[in-house]
């Protein structure tokens, strides 16, 4: 493939693991930044040998808490991507604590041109419940600072918290819009196995309340269109890395637990890096990479993966791109009777070029997918 490549870099460390977080993140105060700098760049070089003729259209630093990285490491990674597009979108996730906000300019100077802030709430009580280490005041100040320093910024909010009302959520969204964001992510609180919330028996808002909150989100953020179930942006301000993964584009994953997809002639390899940070670091220093698994997806596996991710987006699935990705026609892998029923019910739309879920269909996407793949 000659299309742009996306690059994901995982920084696995954080100061404090949030009780709802099921990502590969680890609390650590003792980090050998020089070793991690070298290891991340070395693993990147391993994949560069395979993808060196592909322009990189985006880089995404995720975690963990990537704003705890040294800016020199961020700059080193960016500068070691040999074929970086001139207009590449380079995103770094950050927490809004005052100590991390003080480094925003350093990250901009390192090459970051888009900041994604983990605000989660503008209410101190909610932040305490969510285990966040910043205050509502710090969140507001970090957004204002990011808007001055970076050409583009985004921030995340979490809704459907226990005891949260629809009116409170509407008010929080209205406050968010006062910062005139070009991108905003609104995630429903889900309690996953392995998290502290799960072990403590914490539950989110009732299902009907969460559904009403989702509808309220679409209403209040109508001027910031939803381009994916949880993501809203002005046209042209979407997160390119996320779009690449949802569209089934190729991406490289660097760092502990990172995932990647690389394709050649209708065949896609799923690649996964060692999850444990210490074991990943040891493997990279010994072998040049920390890949724990690389396997070729069957056409059916790839098709289902494309369906699951593509229908999350407002644009839906491009039929030509779908066939190019897995060598199967879209209509050959889904239940046509189910499609007809879902179209009549107002949950799906289709034409000669695309298949997409309507806003109502995206709200109940799991049920839609179970019908399509029955």
Percent of the chain with pLDDT over 90: 90
SS3 category, 99: helix
pLDDT tier, 360 (very low <50, low <70, confident <90, very high otherwise): very high
Mean pLDDT of 68-97: 95
Residue 337 neighbours by CB under 8 Å, 6+ apart = none
The helix-helix angle for 299-310 and 240-247 (nearest 10°) equals 140
Distance between alpha carbon 222 and the CA centroid of its chain, in Å? Answer: 22
Q: What is the pLDDT of residues 251-260, one digit of tens each?
A: 999 999 999 9
Does 374 have pLDDT greater than 80? no
Region of 55 please: left (phi>0), alpha (psi -120 to 50) or beta.
beta
Mean pLDDT of 296-321: 96
Does 221 have pLDDT greater than 50? yes
The CA–CA distances, whole Å, from 17 to 63, 75, 161, 275, 283 equal 11, 26, 18, 16, 25
- Which of 304, 258, 249 lies closest to 277, judged by CA? 258
Q: What is the pLDDT of residues 232-279, one digit of tens each?
A: 999 999 999 999 999 999 999 999 999 999 998 889 999 999 999 999
User: Under a CB-based contact definition with an 8 Å cutoff, are residues 158 and 123 in contact?
Assistant: no
Mean pLDDT of 181-207: 95
Mean pLDDT of 195-206: 94
The pLDDT, as a whole number, for residue 22 is: 87
The pLDDT, as a whole number, for residue 1 is: 45
The pLDDT, as a whole number, for residue 341 is: 96
User: Under a CB-based contact definition with an 8 Å cutoff, are residues 152 and 113 in contact?
Assistant: yes
Percent of the chain with pLDDT over 70: 99
The pTM (predicted TM-score) of the whole model is: 0.95
E strand segments, the chain: 5-11, 13-14, 26-27, 56-63, 84-94, 114-120, 152-159, 183-188, 226-228, 231-233, 251-254, 259-264, 267-273, 291-296, 317-318, 348-350, 354-357
Does 98 have pLDDT greater than 80? no
Mean pLDDT of 327-332: 91
DSSP-derived letter for residue 76 is: H
Does 68 have pLDDT greater than 90? yes
Q: Which domains does the chain have, with CATH numbers?
A: 5-245 (3.20.20.70), 300-372 (1.10.10)
Mean pLDDT of 134-158: 96
Mean pLDDT of 154-166: 96
Does 99 have pLDDT greater than 80? no
The helix-helix angle for 277-287 and 33-51 (nearest 10°) equals 60
User: Under a CB-based contact definition with an 8 Å cutoff, are residues 5 and 54 in contact?
Assistant: yes
State how far the Cα of 353 lies from the Cα of 201, in Å rounded to an integer: 45
């Amino acid at each position: 493939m000659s299309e742009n490549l996306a690059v994901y870099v995982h920084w696995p460390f954080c100061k404090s693991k949030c009780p709802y977080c099921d990502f590969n993140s680890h609390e650590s105060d003792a980090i050998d930044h020089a070793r991690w700098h070298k290891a991340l760049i070395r693993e990147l070089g391993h994949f560069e040998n395979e993808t060196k003729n592909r322009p990189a259209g985006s880089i995404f630093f995720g975690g963990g808490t990537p704003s705890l990285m040294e800016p020199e490491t961020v700059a080193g990674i960016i500068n070691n991507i040999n074929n970086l597009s001139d207009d590449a979108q380079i995103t770094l996730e950050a927490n809004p604590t005052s100590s991390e906000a003080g480094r925003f300019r350093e990250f901009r100077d390192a090459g970051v041109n888009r900041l994604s802030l983990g605000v989660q709430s503008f209410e101190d009580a909610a932040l305490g419940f969510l285990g966040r280490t910043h205050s509502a005041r710090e969140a507001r100040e970090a957004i204002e600072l990011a808007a001055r320093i970076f050409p583009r910024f985004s921030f995340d909010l979490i809704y459907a918290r226990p005891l949260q009302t629809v009116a409170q959520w509407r008010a929080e969204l209205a406050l968010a819009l006062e910062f005139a964001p070009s991108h905003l992510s609104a995630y429903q609180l889900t309690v996953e196995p392995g998290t502290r919330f799960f072990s403590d028996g914490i539950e989110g808002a009732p299902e009907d309340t969460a559904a009403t909150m989702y509808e309220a989100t679409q209403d209040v953020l109508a001027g910031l269109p939803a381009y994916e179930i949880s993501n809203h942006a002005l046209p042209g301000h979407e997160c390119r890395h996320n779009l690449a993964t949802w569209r089934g584009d190729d991406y490289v994953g660097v760092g502990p637990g990172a995932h990647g997809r690389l394709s050649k002639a209708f065949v896609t390899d799923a690649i996964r890096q060692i999850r444990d940070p210490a074991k990943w670091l040891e493997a990279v220093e010994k072998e040049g990479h920390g890949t724990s698994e690389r396997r070729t997806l069957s056409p059916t596996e790839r098709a289902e993966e494309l369906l699951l991710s593509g229908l999350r987006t407002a644009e839906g699935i491009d039929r030509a791109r779908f066939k190019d990705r897995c060598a199967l026609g879209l209509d050959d892998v889904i239940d046509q009777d189910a499609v007809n029923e879902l179209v009549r019910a107002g949950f799906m739309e289709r034409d000669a070029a695309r298949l997409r879920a309507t806003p109502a269909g995206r709200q109940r996407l799991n049920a839609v997918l179970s019908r399509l793949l029955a």
